[in-house]
Homo-oligomer: A and B are copies of this chain.
């Protein structure tokens, strides 16, 4: 997606360890006009799939999923990362290791909100090692729901998540795939 690639080039920063900082427009401050274009693009890419729900995980994915959901006219369900009195009863859980936060945590979705009838699009802001996506896929498996695809804003092409997801035959669409050039700068795949 040209608009997103241009924005990464103008405002993104690659830091040591392969951290791509886009906190000025995507995951701390959020440029809602840009995210609206991202939502439209996800809809264009997956509109034929009969999506009934969009699934994401706390926290940065939620805003993007909500904006995108307007074009699909379906609810968003976001997996919770922390224990909360608000989430009781029967839940699907899966373990996820976070690369940027350097720790393992459980993600949890109430069994009430994902069913075997659901056709689900997973949306997230970043794809690196793929741990969050595979955790969400695991929850969909437990629910017997159909995974229609995965929509990612920025894939780190130099980490293995994208390859692992594509190997499984999952329909993955990353709007920008960032690669590192030899000088420590940014380039895009494709």
Contacts and interface: CB of A to CB of B under 8 A. Distances in A.
A28 B110 contact: yes
A168 to B, nearest CB: 26
A187 interface: no
Nearest to A105: B82
A175 interface: no
Interface in A57-75: 58-60, 62-67, 69-70, 73-75
Interface in A1-43: 17, 19, 21, 23-25, 27-33, 35-36
A86 B21 contact: yes
Contact of A100 (B85, B100, B109, B110): B85
B17 A75 contact: no
A83 B69 contact: no
B59 A28 contact: no
B67 A30 contact: no
Q: Which of A35, A66, A76, A100 has most B Cβ within 10 Å?
A: A66
Contact of A85 (B25, B101, B113): B101
Interface string A90-116: 000000000011100000011011000
A65 B29 CA distance: 12
24 contacts: A17-B85, A23-B87, A28-B80, A28-B86, A28-B113, A29-B76, A29-B110, A29-B112, A29-B113, A30-B69, A30-B78, A31-B75, A32-B66, A32-B74, A32-B75, A58-B58, A59-B80, A62-B62, A62-B63, A64-B66, A66-B67, A84-B100, A85-B100, A85-B102
The 5 closest A-B pairs by CB, nearest first: A63-B66, A58-B59, A59-B59, A29-B113, A30-B76
